[in-house]
Structure 1
Amino acid sequence: MPPVPSHHHHEHHFQSTETVRDIVIGLSDGLTVPFALAAGLSGALSNAHLVVLAGLAEIAAGSIAMGLGGYLAARGDAEHYASELRREQDEVVTRPEDEAEEIYEIFARYGVSRPAATPVLEALQQNPTAYVDFMMRFELGLEEPAANRAHLSAATIAASYIAGGIIPLLPYMLLSDNAAALRLSVVITLLALAIFGAIKGRLLGTGTLRSALQTTLIGGAAAAAAYALARLLNHA
């Protein structure tokens, strides 16, 4: 009788949630802020070329500001992790009893008794690096950031902002009638939000249709509010 082939279960988990978060931040702002600016200016300026220039200037400034914000946030996360890592490394050596109690408390939250957790604690104590990593993850809930996380976050947010910002400006680049350009800009901006939301939902496993509707509604509401404010300031 031939041997029964073994089947291995392979789990597929999406691992790039931080990158998706950066894309969401950059693209959503890029779609809404330049749209609102262009829409507000289109009611005050008859020259579509000026609207495009103002929109491009805003995209340049916005992408730099957003990218810098992403860089500083990621640097802050890395510095916080490094600080907590040094503290945990010191406590494992200078306060072993307290750290052992914290291990028991962590396992108790998962319903694991002290006798059952003791072999794991003893194994961790034989491997200080793994011990510290365990405490960082399960006591503090911290994951070590990638070495180039700050630069990658800045580049991703800035590029996403530029990509998003160009979309609502395209009608003003192609049409000379500001009113027609505004109507087309509304349509393609909402369409872009829906497509982006669907892709995000598929990647994160949150439901394609649900994510598309959510992103469109939230992004559309933000764009409408920004547009109303821009028009209000133009007529002030």
Structure 2
Amino acid sequence: MARELDNSLLNQHKEKHFTAGEIVRDIIIGVSDGLTVPFALAAGLSGANASSTVILTAGVAEVAAGAISMGLGGYLAAKSEADHYKRELKREQEEIITVPDTEAAEVAEILSEYGIQPHEYTPVVNALRKNPKAWLDFMMKFELGLEKPDPKRALQSALTIAIAYIVGGLVPLLPYMFIRTATKAVVASIVLTLLALLIFGYAKGHFTGNKPFRSAFQTALIGAIASAAAFGMAKAVQG
């Protein structure tokens, strides 16, 4: 009866949690770099009085190289995370077999940190000892703080970051596709990119739980500083 009541309450109370954190993180990494790096490159070349054709060619090459590099970095990071999980999982499996009393003591210590008394956690420890799989899952999550990674995570991360980088990187280059005069194209690129940075920063703040307007301002400010620095350095070298 109590279990039926608990299930009824759980069915009535459906919590809505944001579960796409890793994908959003990859998109943020890709778009933020995609908007900023080609933007700074285009501004720098404009400062060096390069033509729109040259700037566009260099920008597209940078976007392609950057997407490959960022995607590969995302793949290797996710792969390393998965490999680390496998190593720790194997180590915990061996310790549960070879030193079960020590592992049981660790379970007790973890539960005691939550304010659970010995007479309350002892049945839990004994129950886990009878269920090695549940015991192993408990140790991975609560002792090591590790969640089992998605086996498709590495490839997904690589593709997400690469595509996001391309999407972001094309924004500051769009004006150079239609405006032949670089001095005019750079102005349009600045306006378009800063607008994109503001929108992206706002969305990033919304999804990450930060203040959207502050996030929008900070993101646009970083992009503006990067492009201004590149433009100024190009002018200084040329002069």
Asked whether the two chains share a fold, i.e. TM above 0.5, the reply is: yes
Residue 100 of structure 1: aligned partner:
104
**Residues 65-214 of structure 1: matches in 2 within 5 Å?**
65-214=69-218
Q: Write out per-residue CA displacement over residues 129-170 of structure 1, whole angstroms, 9 at most, x where no aligned residue.
A: 111111111111111110111000000110011001000001
Q: Which runs of 5+ in 2 are unaligned?
A: 1-7
Runs of 4+ more than 6 Å apart: none
CA offsets 1:51-104 (integer angstroms, 9 cap, x no match): 101100010011001101111111000000000000001111111111111111
Q: Is the 8 A contact 1:32 1:226 kept in 2?
A: no
Instruction: Report how far residue 117 of structure 1 moved.
Output: 1.2
RMSD: 2.0
Q: CA separation of 1:206/1:10 partners in 2, compared to 1, >3 Å: closer, same or farther?
A: farther
Question: Matched residues in 2 for 1:15 and 1:147: separation?
Answer: 17
Q: 2:40·2:226 contact (CA, 8 Å) conserved in 1?
A: no
- Aligned counterparts of 1:223 and 1:70: Cα–Cα separation in 2: 25
SS at match of 1:13: coil
Q: Residues 47 and 229 of structure 1: is their aligned pair in 2 closer, same or farther, counting only changes over 3 Å?
A: closer
- Residue type of the alignment partner of 2:141: R
Structure 1: which amino acid aligns with 2:29? I
Amino acid at match of 2:132: P
1:227 positional shift = 4.5
TM-score (norm 1): 0.90
The residue type paired with residue 69 of structure 2 is: A
Letter in 1 for 2:221: L
Does the Cα contact within 8 Å between 1:45 and 1:51 map onto a contact in 2? no
Q: Closer, same or farther in 2 for the Cα pair 1:67/1:116, shift >3 Å?
A: same
Counterpart residue number, 1:235:
238
Structure-2 change in CA distance of 1:227 and 1:11 (3 Å): farther
Of stretches 6-15 and 194-203 in structure 1, the one that deviates more from structure 2 is: 6-15
Relative to structure 1, is the Cα distance of residues 177 and 208 closer, same or farther in structure 2, using a 3 angstrom cutoff?
A: same
TM-score (norm 2): 0.89
Match for 2:55 among 38, 51, 55? 51
Q: What's the secondary structure of 1:147's corresponding residue?
A: coil
**Distance change >3 Å, CA 228–CA 105, structure 1 → 2:** farther
Assess if the C-alpha contact under 8 Å between 1:197 and 1:214 holds in 2: yes
Q: State the identity as a percent.
A: 55
Unaligned runs of 5+ in 1: none
CA displacement at 1:186 relative to structure 2: 1.4
CA distance in 2, matches of 1:229, 1:141: 45
Distance 1:143 1:176, change over 3 A: same
- Which whole-Å CA distance do the structure 1 matches of 2:116 and 2:230 have between them? 52
Please tell me the residue identity of whatever aligns with 2:215: S
Tell me if the contact between 2:44 and 2:227 (Cα under 8 Å) persists in the aligned partners. no
State the shift of 1:115 in Å: 1.7
SS at match of 1:80: helix
Contact kept? 2:128, 2:134, Cα under 8 Å: yes
